[in-house]
Structure 1
Amino acid sequence: MGAPGRDVEYTMADVTKVFENRDDYAEPLTASEIAEEVGCSRRTALNKLTELAEKTDVTSKKVGGRSRVWWIPVRIER
Structure 2
Amino acid sequence: MAEPGRETEFTESEVIDVFKTREDYAEPLTATEIADRLDCSRRTALNKLHALQEDTDITSKKVGGRSRVWWIPVPVDQ
Shared fold per TM-score greater than 0.5: yes
Asked if the contact 2:7–2:40 (Cα under 8 Å) also holds between the matched residues in 1, the reply is no
Residues 32 and 77 (structure 1 numbering): CA distance in 2 closer, same or farther, change over 3 Å?
A: same
- The structural deviation recorded for 1:9 is 1.4
Q: Which has the larger radius of gyration?
A: 1
Within-5 A mapping of 1:29-44: 29-44=29-44
Structure 2 length-normalised TM: 0.89
Residue segments in structure 2 that go unaligned for 5+ positions in a row: none
Count of residues in correspondence between the two structures: 74
Q: Secondary structure at the match of 1:25?
A: coil
Aligned to 2:53: 53
Shift in Å, 1:8: 2.5
1:69 aligns with 2:69: yes
Calculate the aligned-residue CA RMSD, in Å: 1.2
How high is the TM-score relative to the length of structure 1? 0.89
Q: Gaps (5+ residues) in structure 1?
A: none
Q: Would you identify which runs of 4 or more consecutive aligned residues in structure 1 move more than 3 Å? A: none
C-alpha displacement of 1:6? 4.3
Identity in percent: 66
